[in-house]
Amino acid sequence: MTNAAARLDLRLSPADKARIARAADLRGVPLSAFVRDAVLREAESIMAAELTVTLSVEESRRLLEALDAPFQPNARLKKALVRVTQA
């Protein structure tokens, strides 16, 4: 199945469909293209908001310090590494 063949069906009230169709007409695009573009814009906006981590200046500084510091395995990790290498 190609991307063009994928479908998404939804139910709308006649008033909602007429409103969306009017907006598509005002933009001069087919209804399906208008809906697709609007939904994709909203999806991108939601993903950007939900998948982006924003750190304060202090949090950024602490993260960079932690990344720059040499790695020091704790006792539990050392014990686990011994078990894995002996297995």
∠ at Cα 20 (9, 8), nearest 5°?
Answer: 15
pTM summary value: 0.61
CB 14 within 8 A of CB 29: no
CB 7 within 8 A of CB 1: no
Give me the helices (H) in the chain, please: 14-27, 31-51, 57-68, 75-86
| pLDDT for 48 | 94
| pLDDT for 5 | 77
* Digit-coded pLDDT (tens) for 3-44: 667 889 999 999 999 999 999 999 999 999 999 999 999 999
* Digit-coded pLDDT (tens) for 51-86: 999 999 999 999 999 999 999 899 999 999 998 888
